[in-house]
Each structure stands twice: as C-alpha cells, then as structure tokens.
Structure 1
Amino acid sequence: MASESLIKTSKYTKYTSYKKISYRSFFVGLLLFIVVSLLFIVVFNAYSGSSPRTDFHEPVNLDSTLLEVVNLKSDARLSSARVSNCTYWDCFNVYRCGRGGHDKITIYIYPLKDYRTESGTPFSQFSKEFYVILDTIRHSKYYTSNPEEACLLVPSIDTLNQHSFSKKHVSQALHSLKYWNDGENHLIFNMLPGSAPNYNSVIDLNTGKAIIAGAGFDTWSFRYGFDISIPVYSHTAEKIDSSQPDQKNYLIISTQLNIPKHYLEVLQNIASSSNDLLLLDKCKMDSDRIDYSKRCEYTTGRMFSYPDVLKEGMFCLVIRSARLTQAVLMDVLASQCIPIVIADSVVMPFNSHVDWNRISLFVPEDNVKNIVKIVHSVSKERRGELYWQLRWVYDKYFASIEKMTLTALEIINEKVFPLAARMYEDWNMPEHIYGPVNPLFLPVTAPKAPGFTAVILTYDRVDSLFTLVKKLVRTSQWHEARGATPAVHPMFTTFIMCDANRS
C-alpha cells in the first residue's frame, strides 16, 4: 500500500510540474509575440506612417515673393454658374469632413500663384484684407496643409471687391484649380458684391456649388443654411475705443453719406421740424475733395468730427443704399450707438447665430417718416438692454477681420458638426451681465423674447376659459386667423338623447 501511494504521488508530481512548465511557456511565448508586434507597428509607422505625408505637404507661404506664373488662355473654360438653390445635402460633400476629428472641420488654402491673362496682364492682386483672412485661416485650429484631408478648400484669389477683378478671368482661374470639382466644398469670400448700375446682392462670379461668405445678401439671393453672411469691414471702426461720454446728447443721429434721395428728403423734413434727429452730411469744401473725417449738420452747417460724433447719439441710422450692407454699421456698433436698420430685405451678418433683435431696431422702409415716434416708444429699460450689449457683440465678433473670419469658420463648423454647436445663450448673452447659465436645469421663467406660446389645459369650465381668452387677445402677440374673438360668450344648445333601460 505504501509503495502504491508513493508511485501515485510521484506520477502526480511529474504531471503537475509538466503542467506548470506548459503554462509558463505559453505566457512567455505570448509576451514575446506582443513585444514583437509592438516593435513591428513602431517600425512600420516610422517608415510608412503619416510623418512623410505631413512633411510632403508644406504649409502655404503667404509671404512668398516668387510665385508660379499661370497664363490663362482667352478661350480657357469658365467655372459653372452659381447654383442658386444649394443646400448642404446636394452641394456639399460631408464625407470629406471628419478627418480632423468628430467636432472640427479642416481647411486647405491653395498655394499662391500669379494668374495672368494670355497677354501677360496680372489680374490676381492681393488686398491687405484678403491677406489677413488667409493668414487667420492659416494659423487657426482648422488649417491643414493636406488637400486630401480638407473638408473645405479656399482659393487664394482675392474676390473681396467686385471692382478689383474680372468676372471672366477669375472664373477661368477657379476652373483651373486642381480640386475645384464644380466648386464643391470650396469657400469664397466677398464683401463688396455687384457693380453699377445693378449692384447685385451676391458676387457676380461663376462659383458653382461653392459656399459664399459674403456681405450684402438679400433674402432672395441668400441660400439659408448654406451661405454665410458677413459684415463689410470698416477701417474706421478698428480705431474707435470703448470709452463713452457721460450722457448722450442726441436721440437719433444720421451720418451716412450715400443715403438715397427719396429717404434723404424724408429725413430732411424731420430734421427741419424736430430736434430729435441730428442729420449730418458731407461738408462743403472749397475743392472737390471730400474730408471723410468731418460731417456737417444739414440745417445749420455746424461741423462735427467723425466717427467721434457717433458716441453722442443713443440711436444711429443705417439705411440701405446701392448696396444693402454698409460699412457704417461697424462704426455704429463700435461707438455703442444703437443701430436703426432701414433695409427691408437685408440679411444681417452672422444672422444664423447672432440675434440682432438684442442689439438693434428694425424699421420698415415705408415707415421712415415715423422714425422719431417709433424711437420714443422704446422704453428706457429696452434702451439699456440694447446699449449694454452692443460693445460686447462688437468686440466678440466684429472688432477685426481676424474675429470676423474665425466667427464665419465657427458657424460653418457648427453646421457640419451640429453636436459640437454652442447654445444660443453662448452666442448672444454676455456672462458679466446675465451670469453663467446652468446647463443641468431649465430656467424658472421663460426667456424674455418677442412673442409667446400659451398651452391651455381645460376641462368643463367654459366660462373661465372664455374669460382667459378675452384677456389673452389684448396682448400684441395675439394672432387670430379667423376674425376677432366674440365679445359675449356664445350660447350653446345641446341635445341629449336618452334611452330608458328596459327590464
């Protein structure tokens, strides 16, 4: 018995030792496999990874003086005409986006080239403003030097001012771009669209399916959800500081020089009969030269310094002219003068995100004659709300070309990646005035905004319901589609049919 137990113990011990050796060999082999795999991945990335691609695609050099000369033949193909009904679903390839992350677009800038006509005449001169736009994109978080990874592509051809380029030649240059593809996923900047005598509200250029970041859009030419409305840049506005006088000396000021004649005559009649409107125009000089730093009063000829005089007004007029959007709008915002916009069909800058009702008044064009009466109807509380938010909005979105450009890019980014979008309050409510918004809880009261929606839960208390409705119809926001509400509760006759139970 003892010998049998010893033999069994010996066999068990050998089996256990063999089993331990097998497990040990397995784990050692697995560890070696993991180490070798990691080394292989590191070596593979070092020789065939993304580094060579990054080195190969050098960032665009905006300061280069040695540019490639491109001579376009007179019969070169033009880019296709602007598609007037573009949306993000049919003119934008969203599958190009997302390579920079799930919340950020990537933007590529074409290399600078010296475009010339067949005879050798250059037509692609740079403006300082366009250089700043490209430089802002170049140093933004959205920039990529690899066109294959780009969600948006920006041509390095200055199209800001309609007067500075030829429609035919620039359309030919756009078509010659390597990745043009009928303008798909391309971004074109423009601030001064149209030319005499029509002054179209959108750039006169064959842009195909390209997104237009432009100023001066009207509601007919603007492709909602696709184009970006930007302001007209003002050199004067950048020089205006944030200081304010102790009090506003004038209720309404008009400093615009290019007011259409029929509006100007109405304003002259108001200024002649009321002290509430200070109507300023260009000063009469001995020479034909216009001093844009001076304005003279219409009735007395008194001279004022511009833009300093804007700070003395509580409200400032911004009236449509040959072009819908005026550079004076930026001067007015920077001076913290509440703008009164008189342009019925204008699309305001960054209208999809900036709520202009919080910083301005809108008056219909056919109601200019009542402008003083309208302004007097604005309460002091409402004036204070408009006034204190003006400078915050200007400093945040309009204070420089850099801020305008980054704001436009952020709006496009939120359209492509809506989950990364900021809330309405983040765009329109300064925290130092309203305080931070708690994202976890709804507000106790509804936000202060024009209009309201009432949901009324009723039972069989008809008299109480009718009393409530009579109070609601007194509000200015009440909309009655089928005539006025009756003044007296109507009488209802109800017939009840009873069927006696039969036993």
Structure 2
Amino acid sequence: MKAKKRYLLVLFSCAFLILCYFGGYRLWESGESKVNGITHKKDRLGYLDILESYREKDLVYSPRLSRKERSLSTDSVTCYMDTCFDFSRCVGDFKVYVYPIQDRISPVYQNILNVIQESRFYTDDPSQACLFILSLDTLDRDHLSPDYVKNMQIKLSQQAKYWNDGKNHLIFNLYSGTWPDYAEDLGFHVGQALIAKASFSLSKFRPQFDISIPLFPKNHPKKGGERGTLTSNNFPVSKRYTLVFKGKRYVHGIGSETRNSLYHVHNNKDIILVTTCRHGKSWKQMKDERCEADNKEFDR
C-alpha cells in the first residue's frame, strides 16, 4: 500500500512538472507574463531586432570560425574611436609614420607605403605621428600565396617598436584566410589597431572603427587616372561600360553561389562579367560544363 502511494506521488509530481513546463512555454509563446497578478505584454523580437541587439553588444560572430581563428583576427577586442584610439597624438597637423622596412614586401604594399611617404602627411619622427603604418606586409594573408609572410606575430613584436597593443596603428589587408573556407584569420593579434580591409565580413567588421576598402588588382596604378565623375560634374555619366567584373569563379565552397551566377548578368556589351575556373589545385577535377568557355572568355 505504501509503495502504491509512493508511485502515485511520483506520477502526480511528474504530471505537475509537465503541466508547469508546457503552461509556461505557451504563456511565453503568447507574449504575456503575469507579475503580481498583472498581465504584461511582451514585445516579440524579430530576427533583425535580435541581430541588431547582438551587434550593439558585439556578440555577432561566424559559427564557422574556431575560437582561435576569431582571437587571431581581431582578438575579440571591442573597439570604437573613443576607446581604442589616442586622439592626444593628433593635436595640430595630422601626421603618419611608416616603420622602416626590414623584410621583403610585395610591390603592391610598397606602392601603398610610397604613396604615404610621398604625401604631405608623412613624418619620419614617430613622436609627431598620429597614425602608424607597419612595414610588415599584411596585404595577403592567404597561406597558399607566395606573398604570405610567416611568423608575423614574432616579427611584429620584434619590429613594431611603438605597437602598444595596436593603438593608433592602421593595418591594410586585401586577402585573408585560405581556400576553401576563407576564414578571416590574419595570423597575428590585431589588438586595438584599425583594419582597412577588402571583403570584410559582418562577423569581423567593427562598426565606427574599421574601414572597408575595395579589392584592387596588383597592377593598379599608384597615381593618375581620369578625374572622378563627381569632381568633373559630368552627369549623366558617358561611359562605355555600366558594370565590369573580372575574377576567379569558385566552382564550390564559399563564394561559389554568387560568382557562379554572374554569367546571367553578363551581356557582352555594357555589362562585362568574366570569370575563370582556374583556382586552387583541384579545379580541373571539379570543373563544370561552363569552365572551358569561361576560361577562354576570361583570357580574351
């Protein structure tokens, strides 16, 4: 008899817990809650509202990246201009200091440094500088690239005398990560440095701090070119081409869906979008039916 009572007590307890669980869940779903006998309506947040609240708390990150990759790329440091930048160094003239070059750098990065050093903002006196530019080539952080600089963290500690956890430093980057996932791993601790980077992802970009720049080719001229349309006040724009893109088409992996669809827009008149499948070591094994024609058009 006592055993039966114990079983009944357990059964009623389980039923009560299930009732509380599903009752509470349905109450949450209805958007109502009761506090001290008063019913309160809860605002239901949509996806964009939740994403925005995560952005404000700097909680947005890519689930594909490991903790190590996220820490290497931006150190998970929350930065704004008023928290990670020392404006006291910028009183008076705006001056930029470039570290002396000690290692081999790519011609593209050399052009960037030349432009800065030939400008009126350059100073060779670090005590007068508002901004610091590394002489270490950070443009190409693709492990498969011949321009990839190894042991960047060690070289940074040895050569960046005024690093100070990256404060008032500007890092240029065009390529990060490597095939096939292209995780944005710069391979060294960025800290409080500003990043001027092409193809920024939402998970890495720090709003009101980092700078998104276009991805320019390696043969991009250092100086020259036509006057900008806005400057010359030339409206409507009389250009032969409305839109032009030339680049690699990934036959699989990240970026493949977007670039594989570019041929739909290409009209071979004012919209020119040409791609090549020649990318990576196994493109021939994974090429599709359009690769041969696309490669010929790309070469032409």
Mapped pair 1:205 → 2:205: no
1:172 to 119, 141, 154: 154
1:175 maps to amino acid? S
Mapped pair 1:130 → 2:109: yes
2:214 maps to amino acid? P
Mapped pair 1:225 → 2:225: no
CA distance in 1, matches of 2:148, 2:291: 41
1:212 maps to amino acid? I
Shift in alpha-carbon separation, 1:185–1:304, aligned structure 2, 3 A: same
Question: What secondary structure, in the 3-state scheme, does the structure 1 residue paired with 2:97 have?
Answer: strand
The CA deviation at 1:198 is: 3.1
The CA deviation at 1:200 is: 2.2
Mapped pair 1:263 → 2:245: no
Shift in alpha-carbon separation, 1:202–1:229, aligned structure 2, 3 A: farther
Superposed counterparts of 1:34-113, under 5 Å: 82-100=75-93, 105-113=94-102
Q: Figure out how many residues of one structure are paired with residues of the other and give that number.
A: 199
Shift in alpha-carbon separation, 1:195–1:265, aligned structure 2, 3 A: closer
- Deviation readout 1:27-60 (Å, 9 max, x if unpaired): xxxxxxxxxxxxxxxxxxxxxxxxxxxxxxxxxx
Superposed counterparts of 1:218-367, under 5 Å: 218-235=201-218, 256-261=247-252, 263=257, 267=261, 282=276, 298=290, 301=293, 306=298
Sequence identity (%) = 30
Does the 8 A contact of 2:276 with 2:298 survive in 1? no
The CA deviation at 1:201 is: 3.4
Does the 8 A contact of 1:160 with 1:190 survive in 2? yes
The CA deviation at 1:146 is: 1.1
CA distance in 1, matches of 2:283, 2:181: 26
Match of 2:21 in 1: none
Match of 2:118 in 1: 139
- Deviation readout 1:314-364 (Å, 9 max, x if unpaired): xxxxxxxxxxxxxxxxxxxxxxxxxxxxxxxxxxxxxxxxxxxxxxxxxxx
Match of 1:156 in 2: 135
CA distance in 2, matches of 1:299, 1:139: 44
Does the 8 A contact of 1:202 with 1:221 survive in 2? no
Does the 8 A contact of 2:90 with 2:129 survive in 1? yes
- Deviation readout 1:266-288 (Å, 9 max, x if unpaired): 749969xx99999865499xxx9
Q: Of the two, which has the highest radius of gyration?
A: 1
CA distance in 2, matches of 1:212, 1:86: 11
1:263 maps to amino acid? E
Using structure 2 for the length normalisation, give the TM-score. 0.52
Question: What secondary structure, in the 3-state scheme, does the structure 2 residue paired with 1:172 have?
Answer: helix
2:168 maps to amino acid? N
The CA deviation at 1:245 is: 11
Does the 8 A contact of 1:112 with 1:156 survive in 2? yes
The CA deviation at 1:246 is: 9.8
CA distance in 2, matches of 1:280, 1:173: 39
The CA deviation at 1:147 is: 0.6
Cα RMSD (Å): 4.5
Question: What secondary structure, in the 3-state scheme, does the structure 2 residue paired with 1:129 have?
Answer: helix
| Unaligned 5+ runs, structure 1 | 1-78, 114-123, 291-296, 309-503
Match of 1:182 in 2: 165
| Unaligned 5+ runs, structure 2 | 1-71, 227-236
CA distance in 1, matches of 2:85, 2:274: 46
Shift in alpha-carbon separation, 1:305–1:126, aligned structure 2, 3 A: same
Question: What secondary structure, in the 3-state scheme, does the structure 1 residue paired with 2:115 have?
Answer: helix
Question: What secondary structure, in the 3-state scheme, does the structure 2 residue paired with 1:142 have?
Answer: coil
The CA deviation at 1:173 is: 1.9
Shift in alpha-carbon separation, 1:125–1:247, aligned structure 2, 3 A: closer
1:109 maps to amino acid? V
The CA deviation at 1:182 is: 1.0
Does the 8 A contact of 2:277 with 2:295 survive in 1? yes
Does the 8 A contact of 2:200 with 2:212 survive in 1? yes
Does the 8 A contact of 1:82 with 1:206 survive in 2? yes
The CA deviation at 1:93 is: 0.7
Does the 8 A contact of 1:87 with 1:226 survive in 2? yes
Does the 8 A contact of 2:251 with 2:283 survive in 1? no
Shift in alpha-carbon separation, 1:259–1:202, aligned structure 2, 3 A: same
The CA deviation at 1:205 is: 2.0
Does the 8 A contact of 1:110 with 1:153 survive in 2? yes
